[in-house]
Amino acid sequence: MYSEKGSLKLMKNLNWSYDTLPHLLIAGGTGSGKTYFILTLIEVLVKAQAIVFVLDPKNADLADLQTVMPNVSSSKEDISQCVEDFYRQMMQRSKDMKQMPDYKTGENYAYLGLAPNFLIFDEYVAFMEMLTPKESANILNKLKQIVMLGRQAGFFLILACQRPDAKYLGDGIRDQFNLRVALGRMSDLGYSMMFGETNKQFFLKKIKGRGSIDTGTNA
């Protein structure tokens, strides 16, 4: 896996063009290879000079990254604040871009020489279940704004969970994830939540790191 301009090459003949097909949803249970996939994404993005924020509410493997990189949060308070800050930075950049001398309608952050920002949120559903209804609604609202408005300013969301729960991916937010990766084996309900249908031939062999992917190109 490596990064090209506005794109990540995931494997041979498979790219994620995040500038045009933003936001990534990852699902995978224990032993599926989800954590390794996320760690690889982080390494590639950091090497590409992207600004990366990592949220690990279970204080597990991803939280250990705080010894080697900034912007890693694991407590409820720090995670909530990071989501708020990421949203505010996105809104501020959107305003600032319009004031730049080289600003041109229709061009994005990269045209202005700005770095992409990625919010990588592991165990998203587990975190949301820790919150009060009011706290949950606030986080969901901010994330919805990020996936709706972030592309032009270069703010991208990567959500990971064991299974996408419609309760926390409602109001059309799921449809804004143009790349979806389901690692390992999932139930029909899990596939339906990820891809919106189950009448496809999904990968069923229990091999770590293998699974199904929707690249958002309808191909």
How many Å is the maximal CA-CA distance in the chain?
54
Per the annotation, does 216 bind a ligand? no
Give the DSSP H or E segment for 2: strand 2-4
pLDDT on residue 193: 66
Model confidence pLDDT, tens digit, residues 53-84: 999 999 999 999 999 999 999 999 999 999 99
Question: With pLDDT > 70 as the criterion, what percentage of the chain qualifies?
Answer: 83
For the residues 170-178, what does the mean pLDDT come to?
Answer: 83
**96-100: which pairs have CB atoms within 8 A and are 24 or more residues apart?**
97/152, 97/153
pTM of the full predicted structure?
0.89
Range of the domain at 71: 22-214
pLDDT on residue 200: 54
In-domain check, residue 1: no
In-domain check, residue 158: yes
What are the phi and psi torsion angles at 25 (to 5°)?
Answer: -115, 125
Model confidence pLDDT, tens digit, residues 92-112: 999 999 999 999 999 999 999
What are the phi and psi torsion angles at 166 (to 5°)?
Answer: -60, -25
User: Which of these, 90, 84, 86, 158, lies nearest to 120 by C-alpha position?
Assistant: 158
Q: Which of 65-74, 104-113, 128-137, 207-216 has the lowest mean pLDDT?
A: 207-216
Residue pair 76/57 in contact (Cβ under 8 Å)? The answer is yes
Per the annotation, does 32 bind a ligand? yes
Distance CA 7, CA 18 (A): 6
For the residues 29-35, what does the mean pLDDT come to?
Answer: 82
Report how far Cα 153 is from the mean position of its chain's Cα atoms: 15
pLDDT on residue 111: 95
Model confidence pLDDT, tens digit, residues 153-162: 999 999 999 8
Helix (H, G, I), strand (E, B) or coil at 62: helix
In-domain check, residue 107: yes
Per the annotation, does 35 bind a ligand? yes
pLDDT on residue 118: 98
Give the CATH number for residue 180: 3.40.50.300
Residue 43 has pLDDT above 50, yes or no: yes
In-domain check, residue 12: no
pLDDT on residue 107: 94
In-domain check, residue 13: no
Per the annotation, does 170 bind a ligand? no
pLDDT on residue 218: 47
**Strand arrangement of the beta sheet that strand 51-55 belongs to:** 72-73, 51-55, 117-121, 155-161, 24-27, 179-183, 211-214
Per the annotation, does 33 bind a ligand? yes
Distance CA 156, CA 158 (A): 7
**Number of domains present in the structure of the chain:** 1
Per the annotation, does 150 bind a ligand? no
Per the annotation, does 113 bind a ligand? no
